[in-house]
Structure 1
Amino acid sequence: MAKKLFFIISYDISDEKRLRRVFEFLEDYGQWKQKSVFECWLTEKEYQQVKAGLKELIKPREDRVRFYRLCEACRKQAFSHGWGELPDSPEEEVIL
């Protein structure tokens, strides 16, 4: 099984139609957390797919997308106030 890395992806999209497309695209890769923020567990291949897909969806002069990769040690040091839990490592897939 390919190793999954943890990413926080944030975006600022100036057009409602593109905003909806970006949101729907990212739903296939991670969990929506607030406004324009997703938490995603991605393999290297998925990461490349997300980068390429978002590049096609946005207008670079009008929109912005940021990727923050958190290593395991950094992710474990993160904390949260209020409702909601910090994400655990993804479950291992078992193929029989």
Structure 2
Amino acid sequence: MDRQFYIISYDIGDPKRLQRVHKFLKDYGKPVQKSVFECWLTERELESVVSWLADFIKRTEDRVRIYRLCRNCLQNVEFTGPVYFAEEPPEELIL
């Protein structure tokens, strides 16, 4: 299963929708700031996230951005503060 690294950021107008988006994204990645998640996603997982967000958010009030970073790009990210990335989940074993 090939996973890609994504950064998902959002600005949600309604506090209840904001909390629901945050809770939903916790199933897919790690929150690294209040409205920013780092996620290792398969193509199928990305499609699920995009579909759910498209159905849930209010396009006139909310904004969501999804950035894909290649593995080489991760080496060029600069930090201030504690340095860590969401860890790539281990490959799933099907027996």
- C-alpha distance 86-79 of structure 1, shift in aligned 2 (>3 A): farther
1:11 corresponds to: 10
Q: Which is further off, 37-46 or 80-89?
A: 80-89
Q: Distance in 2 between matches of 1:88 and 1:79?
A: 17
Alignment pair present for 1:75 and 2:74: yes
Q: Measure how far apart 1:88 and its partner are.
A: 4.5
Indicate the residue corresponding to 1:86 in structure 2: 85
Tell me what 2:62 maps to: 63
For 1:78 and 1:46, the matched residues in 2 are separated by 24
Q: TM-score by structure 1 length?
A: 0.90
SS at match of 1:61: coil
More off after superposition, 70-79 vs 13-22: 70-79
Deviates more, 1:70-79 or 1:85-94: 85-94
Provide the aligned length of Structure 1 versus Structure 2.
Answer: 95
Tell whether the 8 Å contact from 2:30 to 2:86 is kept in structure 1 after alignment: no
Deviations 1:26-68 (A, max 9, x none): 0110000101000000000000000001112100010000000
Question: By how many angstroms is 1:86 displaced?
Answer: 2.9
Q: Deviations over 1:46-96 (max 9, x none)?
A: 000000011121000100000000011111211222124134443333344
TM-score by length of 2: 0.91
- What is the distance in 1 between the residues matched to 2:33 and 2:48? 22
Secondary structure, counterpart of 1:77 in structure 2: coil
Equivalent residue number for residue 38 of structure 2: 39
Specify whether residues 77 and 89 from structure 1 end up closer, same or farther in structure 2 by C-alpha distance, changes over 3 A only: farther
